[in-house]
Every structure is written in structure tokens, then in C-alpha cells.
Amino acid sequence: MRVAGRVQVALALAMRSGRETIHLTASDLVGHLNCRYLTALDLAVARGEAAKPSVWDPVLEILVERGARHEKAYIDHLKSQGHAVSVIDGVGATDDAPVPRRVMLRVFERAQGICPKCTRKLHPDHWDCDHIIAIINGGENRESNLQPLCNTPCHSKKTKDDVRIKSRSASIRKNRTGLRKPRTITRWRKFNGDVVIA
């Protein structure tokens, strides 16, 4: 089998590395099957022979978000069909669970210690682990939805923006469903003295 041979070659290359054990994910294997050069680059980065690219691409973030939504929809579909589903990827069991330190370290290292919004170097105790898509706006408590942001101004501004987006979307949803806030003023007086009842 040609495909199995390629995967075995990738595993053999990974295991021959003199550093710590290299763990290949399903994405690594799919990437290898589609592009051997990608595997060579990934292994060079893992061995320390090449630097990992530090490009922040908002389109890539959108793609990641769409992938996460698709995955969630498919898992919900499997559950609705009566299949047992075990969640193995995630930061916490609940939305309000704190981000574990080991995950924070991986998020920090993934960003190479640089704030993705302002591109300044992050300093210890002056950055926060932020949800790219806020939980209040439908984001998930997963490592792939986390980014390190400097406390001020980036994290403060993003939190305000997240709350504003949530407020606006809740208002639109209420208007569309007819759940508007009832009027508190039910009568008033015109300038000519006539009383108007709502």
C-alpha cells in the first residue's frame, strides 16, 4: 500500500529526530498525504532547523471558526442520531472553567510571545488568554479559540467590543422574535396640553 508507506516514512523520520518524541496528529497525516513538502517543513520546525512562520492572517481565523462550527454541527448530528460521542479536545469541561496553565503556555508559544493585535512583545503578568470568538458570542472554550493579548489596550478593548456585539445581536434577536422590552411610559402630554395614551 503506497499511502501506508508514506505514513510510515513520515513516522520513521519523526522518530529518528534526536529531540523529544514528535507526536503526529490526524491533520499532520492528512497534510503529509496531500503534500510531502509540508511534512518536511513541519519536521524541520520540530527539529529546530527552521523557524515557524509568524504570520497573523484574519482569513485563517475565519477558516478556523468555520471549521469549529462545522465540527460542532456534525457532533450534534451524531448525537441526534443516537451515537455516543466523547469529547477529547477542549480546555475546560464548562464555559466558565479557568484555562489550565499548560494550555496557556501552549497558546503563548504558538503566538511566539507576540500580541496578535498590536504585535508587541508580551511580558509576564501583563497578558491574558483571550477567546478569539467570545463565549458570550457563541465561541467555544477550546485551545484553538484562544489567543494571548496584552492587558491594555488590546484585551480591554476586545472585551468591550465582545460585549457590544453581544448586546447588539441580543437586541436584533429580540426585535425579530417580538420580545421587545415593554414600554414604561404609557401616557404623555403634548405641548398643547392633550394627553396621549399609548
Pair 118, 150: CB distance under 8 Å = yes
Highest mean pLDDT among 21-35, 42-56, 60-74, 126-140: 126-140
Helices (H), the chain: 2-16, 26-34, 36-47, 58-80, 101-110, 156-177
- Rounded Cα distance between 93 and 142, Å, is 10
Kindly report the average pLDDT of the chain as a whole number.
77
Query: Helices in 81-155 by DSSP H: which ranges?
Result: 101-110
Nearest to 32 by CA among 68, 7, 69: 7
**C-beta of residue 37 within 8 angstroms of C-beta of residue 31:** no
Each residue's pLDDT tens digit, 27-52: 777 777 777 787 888 778 777 788 77
Candidate ranges 69-73, 110-114, 174-178; pick with highest mean pLDDT: 110-114
* Higher pLDDT among residues 111 and 101, named by residue: 111
Q: With a cut of 50, say whether residue 197 has pLDDT above it.
A: yes
Q: pTM for this one? A: 0.45
